[in-house]
Amino acid sequence: MLAVPAAAMIVAVSVAVVGCGADDRPPSGGSATTRAAGTAAPEQCVPSASASRRELAGSAVWVLFCPGGQGRTAPAEVPSDALTTHLDLLEGLIRAPTPWGTNSRCAEFGGRTYRLQMGFEDGSVTEIRGDTHPLCSGRTPDGSTITGPPDLGVYGTVMTAFGQQYADQFTTAEIDDPMTCPDNPFTPDRSDADGASAGLDTGFLRGAREPMTMPLSAVRGIACTWEYGAGTPTARHLGPDEAERVRIGLHAIPGGVVDCAQSRRPTHSAVVEDKTGTRRTVTILYSQCGTVMRSDDGYGLTFPWLDTR
């Protein structure tokens, strides 16, 4: 029978704030497009007031995630570099000229938040803010909503493009080790492995520079399920698309607080790997109100990035 550590019964972590404060609301008035100096990506995001382009149509030449300060929202982990390649992957983002409001917000608690800017060939810049949940829409300065593919959303789409850009910097390692389930889902870090990509220094976490958990796109993975009371899991292999969704979700686990009695629902773990052999693991404890445990001892609630049906 799968043992449940007492420490896993009650988990307390920072609470993610869904929605936005006064500083995050779309600016009123002022719809003129502001041009940036040239088309090269800036070292950091421009002031929000200067990122007022309305349309996504056109040739984007760079994307930057903007780290948020602590206390305003709960920003997801994001790259600290500019995206300048694989911009074609952003064609799945669609602008809907409808006012941002309750009809375009998440219907439920989704995840962490993000803010990003896109620079265009004509020098103009737009800004998109939103929740990381794949079903959540983002919004632009004029209040329009931005949607992405339902399996990725806006945040996931941009993270995939970044993952491909970083993957271009590394050669594919010869990996003979098969993908296997964790010996104990409550210690996900024991399934980790560090390949060449583990030394890549890029990332922001809650507004501060900190290396990302897994910056390169995932190429394969394995999903494992322990039914209540079972000591041996059932497993299925994840293709590149499913594994990539899990990798993205590792950077967007919403914080929260849970104190609930253990139920008889199953426990799930997923291990994903990039082209260099770096592996990271996440465990979802549906028996404990959807508590999520990550490789680096990070905790949170809910994980919409893995199909556990």
With beta carbons less than 8 A apart as the criterion, state whether 12 and 292 touch: no
Answer yes or no: is pLDDT of 107 > 80. Answer: no
pLDDT at 4: 47
Range among 12-26, 34-48, 272-286, 292-306 rated most confident: 272-286
Predicted confidence (pLDDT) per residue in 125-176, tens digit: 999 999 898 988 898 888 889 999 989 999 999 999 999 999 999 999 998 8
Percentage of the chain beyond pLDDT 90 is 53
Q: What average pLDDT does this structure show over 63-81?
A: 79
Nearest to 285 by CA among 1, 12, 11: 11
| For the chain, domain boundaries | 6-14+173-301, 30-167
Residue 74 vs residue 92, higher pLDDT: 92
d(CA 117, CA 140): 10
pTM listed for this prediction:
0.84
pLDDT at 180: 95
Answer yes or no: is pLDDT of 72 > 70. Answer: no
pLDDT at 32: 31
Nearest to 155 by CA among 173, 176, 135: 135
Answer yes or no: is pLDDT of 302 > 90. Answer: no
Band (pLDDT 50/70/90 cuts) for residue 300 is confident
Average model confidence (pLDDT) across the chain: 82
pLDDT at 38: 57
Predicted confidence (pLDDT) per residue in 276-288, tens digit: 999 999 999 888 8
d(CA 55, CA 76): 25
Answer yes or no: is pLDDT of 6 > 50. Answer: no
Number of H helices, E strands in the chain: 2, 16
d(CA 129, CA 182): 36
pLDDT at 35: 39
Helix (H, G, I), strand (E, B) or coil at 86: coil
With beta carbons less than 8 A apart as the criterion, state whether 204 and 77 touch: yes
pLDDT at 10: 35
Residue 301 vs residue 199, higher pLDDT: 199
Predicted confidence (pLDDT) per residue in 238-271, tens digit: 999 999 999 999 999 877 656 777 788 899 999 9
Range among 91-95, 99-103, 292-296 rated most confident: 91-95
Band (pLDDT 50/70/90 cuts) for residue 69 is low
Predicted confidence (pLDDT) per residue in 187-242, tens digit: 998 999 999 999 999 999 877 888 999 999 999 999 999 998 888 999 999 999 99
Bridge partners of 205, per DSSP, are: 208
Nearest to 195 by CA among 223, 175, 221, 169: 175
Q: What DSSP string describes 53-64?
A: -----S-EEEEE
Band (pLDDT 50/70/90 cuts) for residue 13 is very low
Answer yes or no: is pLDDT of 2 > 90. Answer: no
pLDDT at 220: 97
Instruction: Look at the alpha carbons of 286, 130, 151, 168 in this order and tell me if their dihedral is positive or negative.
Output: negative
Helix (H, G, I), strand (E, B) or coil at 155: helix
Residue 118 vs residue 24, higher pLDDT: 118
